[in-house]
Amino acid sequence: MSIFKNLLLIVAYLSLSACSNIERSRDLGNADVSGVTLVKQVCSECHGQNGNSTSPQFPKLAGQQIGYLQSQLMKFKDHSRSDRLAPEFMYGMSHGLTVKQIGEISEFLAQQQLINEKAQVMPDDYFGKLIYLNGMVDRGIPACQNCHGTMAQGQNDFPRLAGQHKQYLVKQLHVFHANIGRPDTPMQFVTQSLTEKEIDQVATYLSRL
């Protein structure tokens, strides 16, 4: 074989291996790695396979609204979302992502099927469901479904809540209530006069949808 042919083979081999490396890369600072690869190689460690996290500490992302995923990743990246675990976990994760990667990640996660092992609405969910569907007009609490949808599936920037871990939902309702770390959303107003018990009831209902 001529030297020229050998060289061609080596070049072909190198570009192939670079290609397969980039398909398995965990490098959050490399703009050439696709968002889908990053979800599978990095994000899945906490958020689970295809966004179905099993630990309640980590929110499920499967089937989440694309617009909401994008907006939250931008908010972690520019540090405007600063509830307690955001700086600890998500600032580093989002720091080097490009707008294109954020788009690819959000599109992929939005397309995944949400798995909810706890999906079963119980008779004691009656009050949680009532709050969700009707709010409490006399106390200025709007119906959640007005923004999050009848089945809590969300739309655009309004997140899906159905099937989310209860512990995470309760935690976020407290974050909005105390107005620490997630500013400039309607949720501070919404949660203003919700009691502990009501927060628990509505979160339980949503986690079982």
Residues that bind ligand HEC (CB under 6 A): 38, 42-43, 45-47, 57-59, 61, 69, 71-73, 83, 85-86, 89-90, 93, 105, 131, 141-142, 144, 146-148, 157-159, 161, 169, 172-173, 182, 185-187, 190, 202
Number of H helices, E strands in the chain: 12, 0
DSSP 127: H
The four Cα atoms 38, 40, 46, 51 give a dihedral, to 10 degrees, of 110
Token readout for 184 is: 């400039």
CB atoms near residue 55 (< 10 Å): 12
The helix/strand/coil state of 108 is helix
User: How far is residue 110's CA from residue 84's CA, in Å, rounded to a whole number?
Assistant: 25
Minimum CB distance to ligand HEC, residue 136 (Å): 9
Q: Which is nearer to ligand HEC, 11 or 68 (CB)?
A: 68
Minimum CB distance to ligand HEC, residue 23 (Å): 16
Q: Which is nearer to ligand HEC, 17 or 54 (CB)?
A: 54
Minimum CB distance to ligand HEC, residue 63 (Å): 11
Q: Which is nearer to ligand HEC, 123 or 180 (CB)?
A: 180
Minimum CB distance to ligand HEC, residue 71 (Å): 6
